[in-house]
Chain A
Amino acid sequence: MADILGEVIQAFQLIFTGNPEIEGIVLRSLFFSGTAVILAILWGTPLALVIALKEFRGKTIIKAILNTLIGLPTVVLGLILFLIFSRGGPLGFLGLLYTPGAIMLGQAILITPILISIGVSSIESVDPEIMNLSKTLGASESQAQIAVLKEAANGIILSDIASFNRAIGELGVVLLVGGNIAGGGNRTDVLTTAISRDVQISELGLAIALGIILVSILFIINISIIVLRKTNLIVETAKGSFAKLRKRKGELADQ
């Protein structure tokens, strides 16, 4: 027990003294997962638009598959990607295995289903008349789609954040295609893989420190969403009561 306490104290010391090792791992994690989200947004958002707005055969099945893929064990996806990226695999010639590129690509693929799935349902919940409204005001097909996307902005942002959460906290894919390389020019160890390694080599203090940071990152992201929404709400309510006040003043003036 005293040992664990000692490790925890060491963990806090590591966090607050600004250890360059930890700093590197954190920045790498943020960078890899951030890039993965951007990649997934680039191909996921147009796909979500198509699935939500177009009527085609097999739409329900595609949605069901997407929902299934959300729950896919990451280690299974990691294995599949490992086979694809490995020397003998179909994309082996790219030499991506055990590089940062493989991690970013792997995470992007991992979060695509969740990004599309939440995106589709938020686009579908937009008033269907918005599309017609934009068109009757002169918008072309693609301009009308952008208008729908803007109406769904809240849900779209939520899907992006949820995707980032999943990417940064994910272990299986990063471990299998990234290789958790801690040395050389192209380090591929990130928060999750570093924790797993540090536990194995009994560097518990470091593992605890990284764990605390990982959870803190997730917590900060989620709390800021809530605060952002709240402030928006506060602004709106303020506007509303201000309008009421003005109206009341107007009524008084009328009398």
Chain B
Amino acid sequence: MALLGPNGSGKSTILKILAFIENPTSGEVIFQSNEVNYKNTEKERMQSTLVFQKTTVFSTSVYNNIAYGLKVRKVPQSTRDEEIKRALKLVKLEGFEKRNAKKLSGGEQQRVAIARALVLKTKLLLLDEPTANLDPKNAGILEEVIDRVNRENKVTIVMATHNMFQAKTVPHRIALMDEGKISEVGAPAEVFNKLSRNLASFAAIDNTFIGEAKITSKGTTIVNLGNNLQVEVADQKEGKVSIFVNPQDIILCQQAVKSSARNVLEGKIAEIIDLDSLVKLKVDVGKVFLVQITKRSFNELALNIGADVCIVFKASSVQIL
């Protein structure tokens, strides 16, 4: 199950309540037909675990990080060693036991965090935007792990995301959140269908835009987003629609280029968000697009705020709802 919604819509809060580390201001939490209250929180907490959006590791070795929850559960040393080895293999960090967790890259730290949650084998696994700040390689590894655990261990996973692409492809069910409330729940296809009729509030999700769609003579769709901005989409759809472009599918260039991609938009860099191994850029081309590039490319292009750039993406990279 995925929770989809813009920043500040309450995704993290609901996850913290489900992890029993925050109390709801009103209402009650029922977990496996038990009401969870101050008397049994510490016991119920053993059944669920949360991986935070902001990667947090204890400043000790990778082994000690992953062992923490097992030690609390009084798992014997031999079982512990085995479980930790297996979990590290799953997140592709074999042999990292003795490394200092704080000295790992952001992506590696987040993989340690996932391994640390997985060894506990809780009934409920909560993930708060686990891949939001990761480069595609690390994000890919994590998505694979999440998928595998969900299939093989039959763990219930609740994941928060504001990446439309992830919400559409990874989960079985999604819930839309806005201003602290769940507005829609259902299978992704079903919810996205409804979403197209009730779009306005979701414009806050990155790279999601609302526009007027028209099918062209070439069989593609042109979506007019306002501000003289048009985007060509491969799928056919008419009327009021919302579109989503995965930040990873956008190419950044310094000059307008001739390209086979149907969408070449010129604009200026409005904001630079420097993450561990990747950089997210907000590019204003009439509407603000979020673009994700590696740190290396960022340094090579020597970009700064206000620089003229151009973004390129294929018509087939645009999801239309």
Query: B286 contacts the other chain (Cβ, under 8 Å)?
Result: no
Q: A143-B72, A151-B58 are in contact. Are A137 and B120 (CB under 8 A)?
A: yes
A136 x B19 contact (CB < 8 A):
yes
Closest-CB distance, A39 to chain B (whole angstroms): 29
For B59, the closest partner residue in chain A by CB is: A151
Query: Which of B49-57, B189-197, B221-229, B255-263 forms part of the interface with chain A?
Result: B49-57
**Which of chain B's residues 31-49 have a Cβ closer than 8 Å to chain A?**
42, 45-46, 48-49
A138 x B56 contact (CB < 8 A):
no
B99: which of A130, A132, A136, A239 is its contact (CB, 8 Å)? A239
The residues of B that contact A254 with a CB separation of less than 8 Å are none
The residues of B that contact A243 with a CB separation of less than 8 Å are 99, 103
Query: B100 contacts the other chain (Cβ, under 8 Å)?
Result: yes
The residues of A that contact B19 with a CB separation of less than 8 Å are 135-136
Closest-CB distance, B200 to chain A (whole angstroms): 33
In the complex, what distance in Å separates the CA atom of A248 from the CA atom of B263? 39
Query: A83 contacts the other chain (Cβ, under 8 Å)?
Result: no
A136 x B72 contact (CB < 8 A):
no
The residues of A that contact B73 with a CB separation of less than 8 Å are 138
B49: which of A136, A141, A151, A240 is its contact (CB, 8 Å)? A136
Closest-CB distance, A93 to chain B (whole angstroms): 44
For A131, the closest partner residue in chain B by CB is: B21
In the complex, what distance in Å separates the CA atom of A30 from the CA atom of B50? 48
Query: A23 contacts the other chain (Cβ, under 8 Å)?
Result: no
A130 x B21 contact (CB < 8 A):
no
Query: A133 contacts the other chain (Cβ, under 8 Å)?
Result: yes
Closest-CB distance, A161 to chain B (whole angstroms): 20
**Which of chain A's residues 87-141 have a Cβ closer than 8 Å to chain B?**
127, 129-130, 132-141
A239 x B103 contact (CB < 8 A):
yes
A137 x B68 contact (CB < 8 A):
yes
B100 x A239 contact (CB < 8 A):
yes
In the complex, what distance in Å separates the CA atom of A136 from the CA atom of B20? 8
The residues of B that contact A203 with a CB separation of less than 8 Å are none
In the complex, what distance in Å separates the CA atom of A154 from the CA atom of B62? 19
The count of chain B contact residues (Cβ–Cβ below 8 Å) is: 27
B69: which of A138, A151, A236, A239 is its contact (CB, 8 Å)? A138
The residues of B that contact A240 with a CB separation of less than 8 Å are 103
Q: A130-B56, A151-B58 are in contact. Are A137 and B103 (CB under 8 A)?
A: no
The residues of B that contact A136 with a CB separation of less than 8 Å are 19, 21, 45, 48-50, 126
B68: which of A127, A134, A141 is its contact (CB, 8 Å)? A134
Per-residue CB contact flags for chain A residues 150-161 toward chain B (1 = under 8 Å, else 0) read: 110000000000
Query: A69 contacts the other chain (Cβ, under 8 Å)?
Result: no
A135 x B21 contact (CB < 8 A):
yes
Q: How many A-B residue pairs have CB under 8 A?
A: 58
Closest-CB distance, A246 to chain B (whole angstroms): 9
Query: A147 contacts the other chain (Cβ, under 8 Å)?
Result: yes
B58 x A130 contact (CB < 8 A):
yes
Query: B16 contacts the other chain (Cβ, under 8 Å)?
Result: yes
**Which of chain B's residues 96-136 have a Cβ closer than 8 Å to chain A?**
99-100, 103, 116-117, 120, 126
A132 x B21 contact (CB < 8 A):
yes
B72 x A139 contact (CB < 8 A):
yes
B42: which of A129, A133, A140, A151 is its contact (CB, 8 Å)? A140
Per-residue CB contact flags for chain B residues 6-26 toward chain A (1 = under 8 Å, else 0) read: 000000000010011100000
Closest-CB distance, A50 to chain B (whole angstroms): 19
Closest-CB distance, A142 to chain B (whole angstroms): 10
B56: which of A133, A143, A150 is its contact (CB, 8 Å)? A133
In the complex, what distance in Å separates the CA atom of A132 from the CA atom of B15? 12
The residues of B that contact A141 with a CB separation of less than 8 Å are 42
A138 x B45 contact (CB < 8 A):
yes
B54: which of A129, A139, A140 is its contact (CB, 8 Å)? A129
Closest-CB distance, B95 to chain A (whole angstroms): 9
In the complex, what distance in Å separates the CA atom of A147 from the CA atom of B56? 13
In the complex, what distance in Å separates the CA atom of A81 from the CA atom of B60? 43
In the complex, what distance in Å separates the CA atom of A147 from the CA atom of B21? 16
Per-residue CB contact flags for chain A residues 41-67 toward chain B (1 = under 8 Å, else 0) read: 000000000000000000000000000
For B103, the closest partner residue in chain A by CB is: A240
Q: A132-B21, A239-B103 are in contact. Are A150 and B58 (CB under 8 A)?
A: yes
In the complex, what distance in Å separates the CA atom of A151 from the CA atom of B64? 13
The residues of A that contact B56 with a CB separation of less than 8 Å are 127, 129-130, 133
For B53, the closest partner residue in chain A by CB is: A129
Which A residues fall within an 8 A CB radius of B? 127, 129-130, 132-141, 143, 147, 150-151, 236, 239-240, 243
Besides the known contacts A137-B120, A138-B46, 6 further A-B residue pairs in the complex with CB atoms under 8 A apart: A130-B56, A132-B16, A132-B50, A134-B68, A136-B19, A236-B100
A sample of 18 inter-chain contacts (CB < 8 A) reads A129-B52, A132-B21, A133-B56, A135-B20, A135-B21, A135-B45, A136-B19, A136-B45, A136-B49, A136-B126, A138-B49, A138-B73, A141-B42, A147-B68, A150-B60, A239-B103, A240-B103, A243-B103
Please name the 10 residue pairs, one residue from A and one from B, whose CB atoms are nearest each other, closest first: A137-B69, A138-B72, A129-B56, A136-B50, A135-B21, A136-B19, A132-B21, A133-B56, A138-B46, A138-B69
